[in-house]
Structure 1
Amino acid sequence: MAFDVAWFAVHSFGLDKAPVLLSSLDRKGIVNTAQRDWKSGLSLERVSVLEFLLQVHGSEDQDFGNYYCSVTPWVKSPTGSWQKEAEIQSKPIFITVKMDVLNAFKYPLLIGVGLSTVIGLLSCLIGYCSSHWCCKKEVQETRRERRRLMSMEMD
């Protein structure tokens, strides 16, 4: 026995839109993945004799919707010819994608604030050092005569 497996998605809350082919596996084991406009990746694998697994990697907001698979069994007759059986469809599974905004921005924000603080302090230190040692003009101090008032008796 061999199987043709195809995974579909309907990107809506109901099944009222047309299904989009995501990936398929033919009875010879060749995987075909459809071209999509978004960045998430798909992988389709055969886990056991009767179990196939679709994985969505790096899911995004566009990946929500109802997912289902369609299986077409192929039975090998005693004469050696393959016969195609009736297609079987799984029940749809609704998948939602929720992004945690705090965790999504926490590390980039901390890294950005930390790096900008370090670079700011480093630039202040470089400015202070260069103004203190490099740009200092050699100024010879001339002694001013200190004139004090003399007492009248010394005149």
Structure 2
Amino acid sequence: MVHSGDSFARQPLANITNHYLLPTRRQFLQIFTLTRNIRLESCTSEATQCELIAFANWILSISDGTIPIVEDTDDLITIPDDFLLTIVDNPLHCIVDAIYPNLPNHLQDKAYFNDRAILCPTLSAVDEVNSLMLSLLPGDKVEYLSADSISK
């Protein structure tokens, strides 16, 4: 049973330790914790690796509850300026420029697109991002339609 207020990370542990088979099989149970960040090992530059280490440590401090809380609040934290985007005119342009810097110079580079993504909370936001991205690409826009069934 998971009690309200328990963290999401503790839920699997609660489910495992309360399983009906556990009392007879406790000697086979071993809990492992992650100690190595594999993403850091794939970095090509030392500067990028240092940035990822700083971000990973910041995220860990949030999940561990060791990050300082803003005074006179119960749950607000300060996000370092290094992790924020400076919005000049259009917030969406700012996000796209941060995720896809020098886009026109990388149109033929598959790895450039495989290593990046913009996550959107709604389908309308997806449409906005897609429209902006298409407007940044050279050439005419072509729309291909599909159907779930064949018309008779």
Q: TM-score, normalised by structure 2?
A: 0.20
Larger relative strand fraction: 1
The structure with more helix, counted as a fraction of residues: 2
More RCO (CA 8 Å, sep 6+): 1
Specify the structure having the higher radius of gyration (Cα).
1
Relative to the length of structure 1, the TM-score reads 0.19
